[in-house]
Amino acid sequence: MPRRIAIQRSVMAADEKIAEKIRKDFSKRGVLMLNLIGSPGSGKTALLEGTLKDPVFRSVVLEGDVATSRDAERIARTGTPVVQINTRGGCHLEANLVEKALEDLEMEGVDVVFVENVGNLVCPAEFDLGEDYKVALCSVPEGPDKPLKYPHLFMKAEAVLLTKVDLLEHLDFDRNLFWKDVKELNPRAERLEVSALRGEGMAEWISVVERWIRAKRP
């Protein structure tokens, strides 16, 4: 006869343990880790290119994609150390993949690890990588309804960035609706508008990252 046995532990227990290990290690070293999440084409790589162009802090980048190393090549052109993670079909990054990729990076003197997650508003929000904060990106062409359609990400994000705001003048984007929904879902999140192309809002974004770095230093 089969016997029922209670287990009561998280499905992702093994991965959560790795995430905790990463968090502890970076806490000791005083390194900030950010998990950038947004749709394909929301401007995650462009935001990083703009951030790393004239660096005011020392960064390394982990690039998550289903296939190709195109994003890593873009980041490498800024002179920033980068590792590409190909998930081969996987729709999100997991802590075990991040742990492996981090082995290939020299962490001495690094202030911040940017992790660019696989382009997707759903699954990446579900998996803890050991980051300090999730940063949610939504671009103007995607439309203002995304926060309410994908609430989980926007609720968990420490900062919400509306990207490609240089397109606002060309598109019928209800900016008030967008920010009203974000505020309702997550009143405590930083709210920023940026155009990586024109540089608008980039100084504010960089100063938020600098503030987080300072708070993380031992």
Partner 1 sequence: MHELSLVGAVIESLEELARERGWKKVTKVTLKIGQMRQVIPEVMVFSFSVATEGTIMEGSSLEILEVPVTSRCLFCGEEWDGLSFICPRCGSDQIETASGMEMDLESVEVEE
List residues binding partner 1 (CB under 8 A): 1-15, 90-92, 94, 120, 122-123, 125-127, 151-152, 155, 184-185, 187
**Alpha-carbon torsion angle 157, 189, 36, 13, nearest 10:** -30
Let me know if 34 is exposed, middle or buried by CB neighbors in 10 A (0-12, 13-18, 19+).
Answer: buried
Q: How far is the CB of 6 from partner 1 (least distance, A)?
A: 5
Contact, 154 vs 186, CB < 8 A? yes
- 105 versus 155: smaller Cβ distance to partner 1: 155
Q: How far is the CB of 87 from partner 1 (least distance, A)?
A: 10
**Alpha-carbon torsion angle 62, 68, 69, 74, nearest 10:** -100
Q: How far is the CB of 129 from partner 1 (least distance, A)?
A: 13
- 156 versus 164: smaller Cβ distance to partner 1: 156
Q: In what order do the strands lie in the sheet with 190-193?
A: 82-86, 59-65, 112-116, 32-38, 133-139, 159-163, 190-193
Q: How far is the CB of 157 from partner 1 (least distance, A)?
A: 14
Q: How far is the CB of 66 from partner 1 (least distance, A)?
A: 12
- 82 versus 160: smaller Cβ distance to partner 1: 160
- Residues facing 44 on adjacent strands: none
- 8 versus 176: smaller Cβ distance to partner 1: 8
DSSP state letter for 193: E
**Alpha-carbon torsion angle 22, 23, 29, 31, nearest 10:** 100
